[in-house]
Structure 1
C-alpha cells in the first residue's frame, strides 16, 4: 500500500493543535522533529536513545510528520488539514512558516520506523511510561508503570504538557477519588489517575479515534473496569461530581469550559490544566478566578505551564 507523508514546518506553540488536527484527519504514526531534542539532556530516559540526525531537523520551529493513505480521498483530506491549520491563526496561535509538503512513501518504510523515537521515559520519581514494544525492568517496587501505544492517538507522555499533568496528578490524586479527563487523547492521564489511586475515571474526547485509543490503552494496563471512555464535546451535558478534573488542552479551549468544570467538581475539588503557553497564563488564571476558583499552584517546564485550581 502507498502512503503520503505530510510534513508541516510550524512553531512549538502550534505543535499540539496541529497534532490534534492530523489525528482527527485519520493520519497515522505522528512524529515531531524538534531541534531542541538535539541538545536536550536525556537523564530521565532509560535504555538506548535513538541517535538523532541533525540534517532531519529544521533550524527553527518544528517539523510535524504524519502519514495518509494514497486513495481517492487524499487531496480532500490534505485540503481540510491545510484549512484547519490556517484557521488556528483566528485563535491567536502562531503557526510560523506553515510550509506543508507531501511525499510518497512505502508502508514498510514508516509503519515501524517512527517507533525509534519512543523509549521508556521517567516522568517523576514514581511514574514511568513505556511503549508497548519496549522491555523495561522497574528500578524500584514503588514505581508506577504506564504501558502505552503512542501511535494510536495524541498523548505519548514525552511532551512537557503531559509530564506536567502527570506530576500534578501524582501530587494530588488520592485513593478512591473520582477523576474526569477532558480531551483524553491516548488515555495516558486517565491511566495515570487510575494507577495513582482513583477509583473511577471518566475520559472524554470529541475524536472517536482518541476514545478507542483510550479504551485500548486502558485494557493494556488492565484498567478497563475503572476507566470509562466516551465521545463528548468537553463537559457538555456531563453530570458527574468529581474530586479532580484534568485537561491537557490549549488555553483557548480550557477557558471555554471553566464554568462546567466548576459545576462538575465537589467543593474542595481540583482542576488541573496543562497545554498552556506562558503567554496565555494570565488569561486562564483570570477566567478561573472569575468563576470562583482559587489558584493552588503553577508549574512550568520548558515553554509550557500547568495550573492547579481549587473549587472553594
Structure 2
C-alpha cells in the first residue's frame, strides 16, 4: 500500500494546533522532529539509553510529519491542511517557515522508519508501553507491560488521549468487570483493561483495518481469552451490560452516543471519554450531563481532555 508523508517545517509554538489539524484531517498519529530535543537533558528512569542522530532533526524549528493514504481525496485533503495552517496566523500563532512537502512512502519503509521514534514509555503508576522489537525488563514488581506494534494505521499508545484513558481505566476497572472499548484502534485500551483483570472486554471498531490490528496486538499480549473484537458502528446493536465503557474518539463522535452508553452501563458504572480537544470540552460535558451522567473527574494533558462520567 502507498502512503503520503506530509511534512511541515514550522515553530514549536505551532506544534499543537498543526497536530490537531493533521488529526482532524485523518492522520492517526504525528512525528515531531524538534531541534530542541538534541539539547534536552533526560532523566534515565527506566534504563533507557537515548542516542539521537542530529541528521534526524532540523537545524532550527520543528518538523511535523503525518501519514495519509494515497487516494482520490488526497490532493483536496492536503489543500485543506495548508489552508487551516495558514489560518493560524489569524490567531497570532507564529507558523515560521511553514514549508510543506509531500512524498510517497511504501508501507514497509514507513514501518521501519517509525521504529526510531518509539521507545518504552511508562505512562501510569502500573503501565509501561513497550514496542515489540525492544527487550524491556520491568522495573517494578507490579508493573504491567503492554507490547504494541503501531504498524501503519495506528499510533504508539503514548498519545495524551491514550495515556489519560489508561490512567482512567486504572482507577475504575475492578477484577471481574465487563468493559466495552468503543473505537478500539490498536486495541491498547482493551489490553489494559484485560491486564487490570477485567473478566470480559468487548473491543469495537468500524474500520476493518483496526479490527485486524487490534486482534494482532491482543494476541501478542496473550489476552485473547478475555478480549473479543468486533467490527461495529459505535454501540449500535450492543446489548451487553457493562461496568465501564471507554471511548477514545473525536468529540464530534462521542456526543452521538452518550444515551446508548448510559443505557448499557450498570448502576455506578463509568463512561470514560477521551480524544477531546480542549475547545470541544463543553460540547462533550453538555452531552454527558444531558444523558444523565455525573462527571466525577476531568484529566487534562497538553491540549487534550479526558472525562470520567458515572451513572449515579
**Which TM class, normalised by the smaller chain length?**
0.7 to 0.9
1:263 CA displacement = 1.6
The aligned runs of 1:59-208 (5 Å cut-off) are 59=61, 63-66=64-67, 74=70, 76=72, 78-79=74-75, 81-82=77-78, 101-104=101-104, 110-208=110-208
After superposition, the C-alpha distances for 1:51-103 in whole angstroms (9 at most, x for unaligned) are 2658439847x6233275xxxxx4625236448869999xxxx9x98975322
State which drifts further: 297-306 or 123-132: 297-306
Q: Give the match for residue 224 of structure 1.
A: 224
2:58 equivalent to 1:56 = yes
Instruction: Provide the secondary structure at the position in 2 that maps to 1:276.
Output: strand
* CA-CA distance at 1:237 after TM superposition: 1.7
Secondary structure at 1:203 match in 2: strand
Q: CA deviation at 1:259?
A: 1.1
State how far apart, in whole Å, the 2-side matches of 1:175 and 1:57 are: 50
Measured in 1, the distance between the counterparts of 2:170 and 2:219 equals 21
In the superposition, the TM-score normalised over structure 2's length comes to: 0.81
Shift in Å at residue 50 of structure 1? 4.8
SS of residue matched to 1:163 = helix
Quick check: 296-305 or 191-200, which moved more? Answer: 296-305
Query: Could you say what secondary structure the match of 1:151 adopts?
Result: coil
Q: How big is each residue's C-alpha offset from its partner over 1:173-207, in whole Å with a ceiling of 9 and x where there is no partner?
A: 00011101111111110100000111111111121
Q: For residue 150 of structure 2, give the secondary structure of its aligned residue in structure 1.
A: coil
In structure 2, relative to structure 1, the CA distance for the partners of 1:153 and 1:49 (3 Å cut) is farther
Give me the whole-angstrom Cα distance separating, in 2, the residues matched to 1:85 and 1:237.
Answer: 36
CA contact (8 A) 2:111 2:152 kept: no
Q: Distance in 2 between matches of 1:34 and 1:14?
A: 13
Per-residue deviation, 1:31: 4.5
Q: Alpha carbons of 1:56 and 1:263: their partners in 2 closer, same or farther (altered >3 Å)?
A: farther
Deviation at 1:150, TM superposition (A): 1.4
What is the rounded CA distance, in whole Å, between the counterparts of 2:21 and 2:241 in structure 1?
Answer: 29
Cα distance, 1:140 vs structure 2: 1.7
In structure 1, C-alpha distance between the alignment counterparts of 2:84 and 2:256, rounded to whole Å: 16
Cα 1:75–1:304 shift into 2, 3 Å: closer
The 3 A distance-change label for structure 1 pair 226 and 102 is: same
Contact 2:124 2:167 in 1 (8 A): yes
Distance 2:302 2:34 in 1: 14
Task: Please list every run of 5 or more consecutive structure 2 residues that lacks an aligned counterpart in the other structure.
Answer: none
| SS in structure 2 at match of 1:270 | strand
Give the C-alpha shift of residue 155 in structure 1. Answer: 3.6
- What is the alpha-carbon root mean square deviation over aligned residues? 3.5
Structure 2 counterpart of 1:298:
298
Asked if 1:12 is matched to 2:16, the reply is: yes
Secondary structure in 1 matching 2:67: strand
Distance 1:16 1:185 in 2: 18
Distance 1:218 1:88 in 2: 37
How far the C-alpha of 1:258 sits from its partner, in A, is 0.9
